[in-house]
């Protein structure tokens, strides 16, 4: 099976329209923290791009056919967790189920370990109900480390938090 065609690249200010178009899908916000707004407005897009173009956290645009169709980022931890980075991501609905996110995760992990030699662990925390995200992580080489039952609340629904990680 050939790798899906997409590019990981830095975000640009001209990604705003595509970002707002794809991020405004309620299925995107449904599986992310409450800090990710819905509806996703131009103001939210401007604020995200201003942060995404800073060196840290380490974010990349998932570019498909020249259009910003998702995001993936590594968020460095501090203090006792300083050798860890948290992985977060989302992808436009029409591009899901094609192996793009699995490949993007693999590339981002490689980029993270290459760029940050002090980091020894990259982890992600999908909802227990987010089977697609769990499968993408597993296919990218992540191992399930823990299931924290009933620890999250999203849109008034109690959710389990699953912790997946890959080590250098």
Residue 107 binned pLDDT confidence (cut-offs 50, 70, 90):
very high
Gyration radius of the chain's alpha carbons: 15
Per-residue pLDDT band for 9 (boundaries 50, 70, 90) equals very high
The set of residues, in sequence order, having a beta carbon less than 8 Å from that of 152 and lying 6+ positions away, is: 127, 158, 159, 160, 161
Query: Token digits for 140?
Result: 């990218």
**CATH homologous superfamily of 7-123:** Gcn5-related N-acetyltransferase (GNAT) (3.40.630.30)
pTM of the model: 0.94
- Give residue-wise pLDDT tens across range 117-164: 999 999 999 999 999 999 999 999 999 999 999 999 999 999 999 999
pLDDT (tens digit, 9 = 90+) per residue, 58-99? 999 999 999 999 999 999 999 999 999 999 999 999 999 999
Which run of H or of E encompasses 84?
strand 84-91
């Amino acid at each position: 099976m050939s790798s899906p065609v997409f590019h990981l690249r830095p975000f640009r200010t001209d990604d705003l329209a595509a970002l707002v178009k794809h991020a405004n899908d309620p299925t995107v916000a449904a599986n992310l923290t409450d800090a990710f707004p819905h509806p996703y407005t131009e103001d939210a897009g401007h604020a995200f791009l201003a942060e995404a173009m800073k060196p840290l956290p380490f974010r990349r645009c998932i570019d498909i056919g020249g259009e910003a169709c998702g995001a993936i980022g590594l968020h460095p931890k501090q203090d006792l967790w300083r050798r860890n980075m948290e992985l977060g991501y989302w992808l436009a609905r029409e591009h899901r189920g094609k192996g793009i996110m699995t490949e993007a995760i693999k590339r981002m992990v490689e980029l993270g370990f290459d760029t940050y030699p002090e980091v020894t662990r990259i982890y992600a925390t999908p909802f227990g109900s987010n089977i697609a995200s769990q499968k993408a992580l597993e296919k990218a080489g992540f191992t399930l480390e823990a299931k924290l039952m009933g620890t999250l609340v999203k849109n008034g629904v109690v959710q389990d938090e699953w912790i997946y990680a890959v080590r250098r």
